[in-house]
């Protein structure tokens, strides 16, 4: 397991958070968030590249406001998130709405606000274009229809082979398709696995005469456990920029590239902290109970295969470790936050930290199990 030389939140700041807010808590580093955004921008050294943040990964107003201050827009999939993004400082031109089954009243509001929309089906296209002449639309392309070898096929978008029909349908109603969208999947550790469907996607984008943008979704993985090589962002950016250059040359114009990561922007900016409330041995295992639960820190429940690196706060690296189940303070048998090697002398009252807790954690909190929402504390460090 790797150990970081510099913790996300320095010990003094962590002490202050614990004293001021108690446990459990989420603590966010604004500096880390800003650095991550700069890294992502640097990976795409081209004009006309727009970074959006997928708000489903983290919809906290303070988080969205910081993102907006960094001149990053929003990828939203609900009207609630759209309104939040606008309230947090994003302008309508900074936001793209990508969803499925959008209702007519929502479509009308999106049109009034001038929001770019990426549509999920030919039926949605007809409804959208039918709102009035001159409507522009982005179409979402189903990934498996482009690259049959993708590991998980999903329900979203139209088949690549339906694109000509979509183009005809738009023209027939005095509208046009000016954008193509794809989301190749999530939490990739290998850029090449993303580039395979993206190559087919960029080839398909040659077929759209009025193309103004391509949106390549998110998908960049985060090494939650800190145990493997980090995603090679430079290689990914280079691969995408090559595809973009070719597409621009083909169309003879400056097609915009939209990139909308959620996990990669948010995950590394936060830790989740919880206090040890009990330690017991049962059937040959050590169980460390905490004052948290998967109801308030749900990623380990949804993705036990990609655990968060877990360690005791305020301890050095040199420790005798013991395998442990870190569990929530409920009766739900699957309330397991981590299976980790932790110091053998862990005591009741110690504070445990879970790293990379900024994405798909607080935003997926559940009412199940009656847990209070932990505070989300933002520090400048």
Ligand X SMILES: Cc1ncc(COP(=O)(O)O)c(C=O)c1O
Residues in touch with ligand X (CB under 6 A): 54, 56-57, 75, 98, 183, 186, 217-220, 260-264
Distance CA 306, CA 295 (A): 17
Q: In the complex, what is the shortest distance from the CB of residue 140 to ligand X, in angstroms, rounded to a whole number?
A: 8
φ, ψ (nearest 5 deg) of residue 113: -80, -10
* Nearer residue to ligand X within complex by CB, 218 or 273: 218
* Nearer residue to ligand X within complex by CB, 251 or 303: 303
Q: In the complex, what is the shortest distance from the CB of residue 208 to ligand X, in angstroms, rounded to a whole number?
A: 19
* Nearer residue to ligand X within complex by CB, 26 or 97: 97
CB closest to ligand X, residue no: 218
Q: In the complex, what is the shortest distance from the CB of residue 190 to ligand X, in angstroms, rounded to a whole number?
A: 14
Q: In the complex, what is the shortest distance from the CB of residue 362 to ligand X, in angstroms, rounded to a whole number?
A: 14
How many beta carbons lie within 10 A of that of residue 85, not counting itself? 29
* Nearer residue to ligand X within complex by CB, 79 or 369: 79
Q: Which of 78, 50, 48, 40 is nearest to 266 (CA)?
A: 40
* Nearer residue to ligand X within complex by CB, 167 or 194: 194
φ, ψ (nearest 5 deg) of residue 132: 165, 160
Q: In the complex, what is the shortest distance from the CB of residue 359 to ligand X, in angstroms, rounded to a whole number?
A: 6
* Nearer residue to ligand X within complex by CB, 270 or 327: 270
How many beta carbons lie within 10 A of that of residue 62, not counting itself? 14
Q: In the complex, what is the shortest distance from the CB of residue 361 to ligand X, in angstroms, rounded to a whole number?
A: 12
């Amino acid at each position: 397991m790797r150990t970081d030389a510099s913790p996300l939140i320095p010990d003094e700041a962590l002490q202050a958070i614990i004293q001021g807010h108690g446990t459990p808590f989420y603590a966010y580093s604004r500096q880390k968030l800003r650095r991550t955004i700069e890294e992502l921008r640097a990976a795409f050294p081209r004009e006309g590249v727009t970074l959006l943040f997928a708000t489903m990964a983290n919809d906290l107003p303070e988080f969205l406001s910081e993102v907006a201050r960094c001149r990053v827009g929003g990828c939203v999939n609900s009207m609630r998130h759209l309104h939040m993004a606008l309230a947090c400082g994003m302008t309508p031109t900074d936001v793209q709405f990508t969803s499925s089954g959008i209702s007519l009243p929502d479509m009308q509001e999106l049109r009034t606000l001038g929001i770019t929309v990426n549509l999920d089906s030919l039926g949605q296209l007809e409804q959208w274009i039918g709102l009035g002449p001159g409507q522009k639309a982005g179409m979402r392309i189903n990934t498996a229809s482009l690259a049959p070898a993708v590991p998980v096929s999903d329900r979203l978008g139209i088949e690549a082979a339906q694109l000509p029909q979509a183009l005809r349908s738009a023209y027939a109603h005095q509208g046009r398709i000016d954008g193509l969208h794809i989301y190749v999947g999530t939490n990739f550790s290998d850029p090449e696995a993303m580039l395979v469907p993206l190559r087919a996607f960029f080839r398909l984008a040659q077929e759209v005469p009025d193309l103004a943008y391509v949106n390549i979704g998110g998908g960049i993985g985060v090494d939650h456990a800190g145990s493997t090589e980090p995603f090679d962002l430079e290689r990914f950016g280079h691969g995408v920029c090559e595809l973009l250059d070719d597409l621009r040359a083909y169309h003879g114009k400056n097609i915009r590239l939209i990139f909308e990561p959620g996990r990669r922007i948010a995950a590394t900016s936060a830790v989740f902290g919880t206090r040890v409330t009990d330690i017991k041995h049962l059937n040959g295992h050590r169980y460390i109970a905490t004052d948290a639960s998967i109801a308030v820190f749900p990623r380990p429940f949804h993705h036990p295969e990609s655990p968060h690196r877990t360690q005791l706060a305020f301890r050095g690296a040199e420790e005798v470790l013991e395998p442990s189940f870190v569990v929530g303070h409920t009766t739900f048998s699957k309330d397991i936050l981590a299976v980790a090697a932790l110091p053998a002398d862990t005591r009741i009252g110690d504070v445990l930290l879970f790293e990379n807790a900024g994405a798909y954690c607080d935003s997926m909190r559940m009412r199940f199990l009656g847990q209070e929402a932990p505070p989300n504390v933002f520090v400048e460090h």
